[in-house]
Amino acid sequence: MKYLLSIFLIFCFSFSKKEANNFYGKYYSIAKGFERSSVMELKENGEFAYEYKLSGCQGIVEGTYSTSKNRIKFKNGFRYSKEYETFILDSLNNSSADTTSVDIGFPFIPDMSLTDWKISSNTITPIKKVDCGCFIEKSRHIKR
């Protein structure tokens, strides 16, 4: 009896504990659409790359992330921040000899720090909607 109980406990614990650090890799959105994709890559060194596409509207956001329990918190890298956007626009406006230009546009960059993502087995899911500029991402992403 003791032998069977030991085997049962080992069996239960081996399936109940998931590898907490085994969430690195690429996750693809389950949302379907013509020329639409949303891919999140989590690297072991604490960096991420989020790639989004909807036809001609596309981009990549890179930065760092941290985890706590079953949540992922993202922080855009400086190159994808509002401060960088302001710096570039100011430098372009100041260096322009043509004072007749109306405005210089800057592409929309999603702020990944606005929402955490939930980790569960082989999927990650944004807790709130992620505004990518051309579409709103709210679906699960499955690891492949």
Position 16 scores a pLDDT of: 43
Q: Quick one: 97 exposed, middle or buried, by C-beta within 10 A (0-12, 13-18, 19+)?
A: exposed
Kindly compute the dihedral angle of the four CA atoms of residues 50, 53, 58, 62, in this order, to the nearest 10 degrees. 0
Helix (H, G, I), strand (E, B) or coil at 38: strand
Tell me whether residue 16 is in a domain.
no
Tell me whether residue 51 is in a domain.
yes
Please count the structural domains in the chain: 1
CB 122 within 8 A of CB 142: yes
Tell me whether residue 17 is in a domain.
no
129: tokens are: 């909607």
List the domain range (segments joined by +) for residue 52.
Answer: 23-143
pLDDT in tens, 54-88: 988 888 999 999 999 899 999 998 777 777 777 77
Helix (H, G, I), strand (E, B) or coil at 122: coil
CA 7/CA 24 separation, integer angstroms: 31
pLDDT in tens, 15-46: 444 444 588 999 999 987 888 999 999 999 99
Tell me whether residue 18 is in a domain.
no
Tell me whether residue 28 is in a domain.
yes
Which CATH number is 133's domain given? 2.40.128
Position 17 scores a pLDDT of: 42
pLDDT in tens, 105-116: 666 788 898 999
CA 74/CA 42 separation, integer angstroms: 10
54: tokens are: 């909807």
Helices (H), the chain: 2-16, 82-95
Tell me whether residue 85 is in a domain.
yes
Tell me whether residue 7 is in a domain.
no
